[in-house]
Copies of this chain bind each other. A is one copy, B any other.
């Protein structure tokens, strides 16, 4: 992928994380990158194309981060705290989870974008279930309903980003894991 296209994707991601799908424009992206809005159409014909590619890259980067956590952290609790860190980091910079933001706008998203967002949540759910199941197997955790627990962890992190940024507090989301998985 050309470097310019990468710069456009990066600017688009940042804008969606702060302003949402309906709240950002090609002009915003162009101003960020330092080109004209018409030039963006050369790389991404439509807004749907651009946002689909932003979401796809975000999803893949996130999947890679999940692999890194599994590889470097050994206990379930360590892994989940590192996972919460993936949400705290953008929040610190005033950004939402890209897919959380897009999911809230599901009703106005082009179908190809919604498909990427859905895939993101399926992958998060699967990683959380796998991580929780490993913790249960080793006896580190007890959980009567692993899928439901994974859903609640994911929902609480996504919700905490929105509420915390709105109220301007609590950029460290490790308390979410601490409350849902008490020692």
Residues of chain A touching chain B, judged by Cβ–Cβ distance below 8 Å, are 18-23, 94, 96, 100-101, 103-108, 114, 117-118, 121-122, 144-145, 148-149, 151-152, 154-160, 162-163, 165-167, 170, 175-176, 178-180, 182
Report how far A55 CA is from B164 CA in the complex, Å.
19
The distance from the CB of A171 to the nearest CB of chain B, in whole angstroms, is: 13
Bound Cα distance from A156 to B180, whole angstroms: 10
Residues of B within 8 A of A19 (CB): 22, 105, 107-108
Q: Assuming A20-B105, A20-B108, A107-B18, is B152 touching A179 (CB within 8 A)? A: yes
Q: How many copies does the complex hold?
A: 2
Pick from B20, B96, B106, B166: contact of A121, CB under 8 Å: B166
Closest approach, in angstroms, between the C-beta of A96 and any C-beta of chain B? Answer: 6
> Are B178 and A180 in contact, CB atoms less than 8 angstroms apart?
no
Residues of B within 8 A of A20 (CB): 20, 22, 104-105, 108
Closest B residue by C-beta to A158: B159
| A154 B159 Cβ-Cβ under 8 A | yes
**A156 CB contacts on chain B under 8 angstroms:** 152, 155-156, 159, 180
Which 5 pairs show the lowest CB-CB distances between chains A and B? A159-B159, A155-B159, A158-B159, A103-B166, A22-B22
Closest residue on chain B to residue A23 by CB atoms: B22
